[in-house]
Amino acid sequence: MSSTQTITNRRNTSARALAATSATYDQPATPAVERLLLTVEDAGTMLGVRRSTIYALMGSGHLTARKIGRRTVITVESVRNYLATLPAADIAAPRRAA
């Protein structure tokens, strides 16, 4: 087989692979499943706080924790409820220099 035939075969193989890949992207995506539980780390990431703060919020009753085996998980609903109880931030407009 000559080098020209080899290059042509590689191009045809790449084109078939690309066509097969694009066919899978044209298919409708499966619907996303909403998470009901978060790990302590995920809850901390969502709220922008450390693990210790999440444990403190669980201890004070602000976040509802559950156990699945040895794993501690937090309900998404309790995170949303906690956020709803936080006061609005009172941020003043920056002063202009005179």
54 falls within a domain: yes
Give the pLDDT of the chain (98 residues) as one tens digit per residue: 555 555 555 555 555 555 555 555 556 667 788 889 999 999 999 999 999 999 999 999 999 999 999 999 999 999 999 999 999 988 888 888 76
Q: How many domains does the chain have?
A: 1
Report how far residue 75's alpha carbon sits from residue 38's, in angstroms, rounded to the nearest whole number: 6
Q: Is residue 53 part of a domain?
A: yes
Burial class from Cβ neighbours inside 10 Å (0-12, 13-18, 19+) for residue 43 reads buried
- Model pTM score: 0.60
Q: What is the CATH number of the domain that holds 60?
A: 1.10.10
- State which residues form the domain around 75: 37-84
Residue 57: phi, psi to the nearest 5? Answer: -65, -35
Q: Is residue 92, in this structure, part of any structural domain at all? A: no
